């Protein structure tokens, strides 16, 4: 009888240890458990917008959004390659999350209150804004010169219902020329039909970095907007995991990885997070 009791106790302790040492895939539930059990992360993104998500000369999908997804995959599996990308259009970013076609969308997605009613957003991984790209040799050397020139300045921008108001928020008197394709804006700039191209600040940084000596940044940005990854709204464990992973990439153990990607795609060197009191609590 005593032997049976002892055996029962041993089995109970063994079961407790097994529970304590359970693999994350067994311990986690919901989306986190599903992804760990599957063995790969499925990410919705695009393939045509440098420097965010595009195909390089070899046909490989690259860009800042791609690196963000790899950071999350590394957090899950300690292996950034365990990720599958689903090439999706901009209008598929929310439906593909809510129908569970993808685990998460990382596709330069702007956070808005309306979208936040449909999906959960991660903490921001980039803050976008509008910038002005000028061609080297331009009459205008910076934003102040553009503004001082008033209506003489011609600004090219992608066609949109609010395009003129967007430019006039920074350059109230500028002449605004709208184009129905981004490539046409840069063509107009190269041909001298416009003095500057109003585009995403990230694109300004990208074009300057990719074309040394050909373009320069006006030095001014406006109309900030937040970029975050989108997830299903009802799984707090998954949301918490993604947020913690991105937080540590931007401020902690994976900072070097995040900073290297930032430098590669935006030609910006990030300051190293200060050691000591956590800056986010100041």
CATH of 128-224, one of 3.40.640.10, 3.20.20.70, 3.40.190.10, 3.40.50.300: 3.40.190.10
Among 20-29, 89-98, 100-109, the minimum mean pLDDT is found in: 20-29
pLDDT one-digit tens code per residue, 178-211: 999 888 999 999 999 999 999 999 999 999 999 9
Of the candidates 70, 93, 54, 40, which has an alpha carbon nearest to the alpha carbon of residue 227?
Answer: 93
* 219 torsion bin: left (phi>0), alpha (psi -120 to 50), beta (else): left
Q: At what angle do helices 255-266 and 236-251 cross, to 10 degrees?
A: 70
Chain centroid offset of residue 177 CA: 29
pLDDT one-digit tens code per residue, 157-184: 999 899 999 999 999 999 999 999 888 9
Range list for CATH 3.40.190.10 in the chain? 26-125+228-281, 128-224
Peptide bond between residue 176 and the one before it cis (omega within 30 degrees of 0): no
Higher pLDDT among residues 11 and 37, named by residue: 37
Q: What is the pLDDT of residue 15?
A: 46
pLDDT one-digit tens code per residue, 226-253: 999 999 999 999 999 999 999 999 999 9
The stretch 78-92 carries a mean pLDDT of 97
Using pLDDT thresholds of 50, 70 and 90, give the confidence band for residue 26. low
Is the distance from CB of 259 to CB of 270 less than 8 angstroms?
yes
Q: What is the pLDDT of residue 10?
A: 40
Using pLDDT thresholds of 50, 70 and 90, give the confidence band for residue 11. very low
Where does residue 139 rank: exposed (0-12), middle (13-18), buried (19+ CB within 10 A)?
exposed
- Fold of the 26-125+228-281 domain: D-Maltodextrin-Binding Protein; domain 2 (3.40.190)
């Amino acid at each position: 009888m005593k032997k049976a009791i002892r055996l029962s106790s041993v089995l109970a302790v063994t079961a407790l240890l097994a529970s304590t040492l359970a693999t994350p895939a067994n311990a986690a539930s919901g989306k986190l458990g599903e992804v760990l059990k599957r063995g790969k992360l499925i990410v919705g993104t695009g393939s045509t917008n440098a420097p965010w998500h595009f195909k390089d000369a070899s046909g490989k999908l690259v860009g800042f959004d791609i690196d963000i997804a790899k950071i999350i995959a590394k957090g899950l599996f300690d292996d950034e390659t365990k990720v599958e990308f689903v090439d999706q259009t901009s209008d598929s970013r929310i439906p593909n999350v809510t129908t569970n076609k993808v685990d998460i969308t990382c596709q330069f997605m702007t956070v808005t209150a309306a979208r936040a009613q449909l999906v959960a957003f991660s903490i921001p991984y980039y803050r976008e804004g509008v910038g002005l790209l000028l061609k080297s040799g331009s009459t205008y050397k910076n934003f102040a010169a553009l503004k001082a020139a008033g209506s003489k300045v011609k600004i090219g921008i992608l066609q949109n219902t609010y395009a003129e108001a967007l430019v006039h928020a920074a350059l109230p008197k500028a002449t605004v020329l709208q184009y129905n394709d981004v490539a046409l804006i840069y063509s107009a700039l190269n041909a001298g039909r416009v003095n500057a191209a109003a585009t995403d600040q990230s694109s300004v940084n990208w074009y300057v970095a990719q074309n040394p000596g050909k373009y320069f940044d006006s030095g001014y940005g406006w109309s900030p907007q937040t970029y975050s990854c989108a997830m299903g709204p009802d799984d707090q464990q998954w949301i918490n995991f993604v947020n913690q992973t991105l937080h540590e990439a931007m401020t902690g153990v994976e900072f070097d990885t995040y900073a290297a990607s930032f430098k590669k795609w935006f030609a910006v060197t990030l300051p190293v997070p200060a050691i000591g009191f956590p800056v986010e609590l100041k």
